[in-house]
Amino acid sequence: METTKQHGEIAEKAPNRSPEAGLSWTLKDGVIELGLHRAPCNELGSEALEELEQFATFLQRVQGEAHALIIYSEMKPGFCAGADLRELYQRSQAMKQAEAIKGVRDFLERIHRVLNLIDAAPLTTIAAVHGVTFGGGFELALACDLIIADKMARFCFPELRLGLIPGFGGIPRLKRDLGNSVVRDLLLTGRSFNAVKAQQIGLVSQVVGEGESLRAARATAAQLKKFDRATAAEAKKFIKPIPHEELKREIDLFCELFARPAVEAGLRKFVESTDAQPYLP
């Protein structure tokens, strides 16, 4: 781990900022920043999961020294477009169904471990989002305490279009934060909605100008530095339960649905689309 001392503070950089890396992180002045930079839009596949697990190890090691974590994207189209559906389809086609379902369950359990860690981290976590914040990307944002969105952000759970439900903890976390009628609207229609609507329903804490979400997140993190870290961590633990049982049931339901023919058909349609990114319903 590369470490440099600057003005009495420790700045750490992950050693993985190679051209192939899709994530990188720093810790400076008590703020951890996790940058997502995997083309085209930070799709979450096996490589991204491995990198997230490395980040989780780093987070567990340094979280006692930090008061905030900011997660943001460097990719123009948006924060994160969700699971790498092309990889999911290709891998599931290459194996027998039972093996594919086992692989899916393993993936889900691993990503849940990472997101649960972020969700419960004893510091304030902020997702600074823009553009496409869909599926697994939306779930990554939901694991954070605050979402700051620029006015071009769009949120969506499109999983029903594939015969699936969100599998990275989205449903329990959405239910934790929003009224059931809004959750039903999002899940059952699969429609996307913009940042203004997201703020109106209580999902997004701030809507800022285009390109300003990271700046606003950093300003918020600077404010958080004024508070006693231990007290903030206890307050968070008190007001933000982790829905462990529901999260486990979500994995079970996802795996059950994955076995159905509609899923293979939905994935094939997505993968075979001639559009660069077929995100319209």
Partner 1 sequence: MSTSDQTLDEILNLAAAHFKVPREKLSPDDDFFKMLGIDSLQTLDLLTKLENHFRVELPDYELQGVSDFRTLAGRIQARL
In order, the DSSP letters of 125-181 are EEEEE-BEEETHHHHHHHTSSEEEEETT-EEE--GGGGT----SSHHHHHHHHS-HH
Residue span 160-199 as binding mask against partner 1, x where in contact by CB under 8 A, dash where not: -----------------------------xxxxxxxxx--
Task: Report the nearest approach of partner 1 to the CB of residue 261 (Å).
Answer: 23
- Of 258 and 279, CB closest to partner 1: 279
- Of 108 and 128, CB closest to partner 1: 128
Would you count residue 122 as binding partner 1 (CB under 8 A)?
A: no
CA distances from 157 to 23, 153, 163, 244 (A): 23, 14, 12, 21
Choices 7-15, 50-58, 146-154, 216-224 (CB under 8 A): range interacting with partner 1: 146-154
Would you count residue 205 as binding partner 1 (CB under 8 A)?
A: no
- Of 52 and 153, CB closest to partner 1: 153
Q: For residues 53-92, which are near partner 1 according to CB under 8 A?
A: 77-78
Q: How far apart are CA 79 and CA 130, in angstroms?
A: 6
Choices 148-156, 167-175, 216-224, 252-260 (CB under 8 A): range interacting with partner 1: 148-156
CA distances from 86 to 37, 40, 42, 48, 146 (A): 18, 13, 13, 14, 30
Task: Report the nearest approach of partner 1 to the CB of residue 273 (Å).
Answer: 9
Q: List residues bridging with 33 in a β-sheet.
A: 26, 70
Are the C-beta atoms of 10 and 3 separated by less than 8 Å?
Answer: yes
> CA 20 from chain center: how many Å?
20
Would you count residue 279 as binding partner 1 (CB under 8 A)?
A: yes
In order, the DSSP letters of 36-90 are E--TTT--BSHHHHHHHHHHHHHHHHHGGG-SEEEEEE--TTBSB--B-HHHHHH
Binding-site size, partner 1 (CB under 8 A): 24
Task: Report the nearest approach of partner 1 to the CB of residue 120 (Å).
Answer: 32
- Of 124 and 213, CB closest to partner 1: 213
Residue span 36-55 as binding mask against partner 1, x where in contact by CB under 8 A, dash where not: -----x--------------
Task: Report the nearest approach of partner 1 to the CB of residue 209 (Å).
Answer: 11
Would you count residue 131 as binding partner 1 (CB under 8 A)?
A: yes
Q: How far apart are CA 103 and CA 125, in angstroms?
A: 30
Can you give the binding site for partner 1, defined by CB under 8 A?
41, 77-78, 131-132, 151-152, 154, 189-197, 275-281
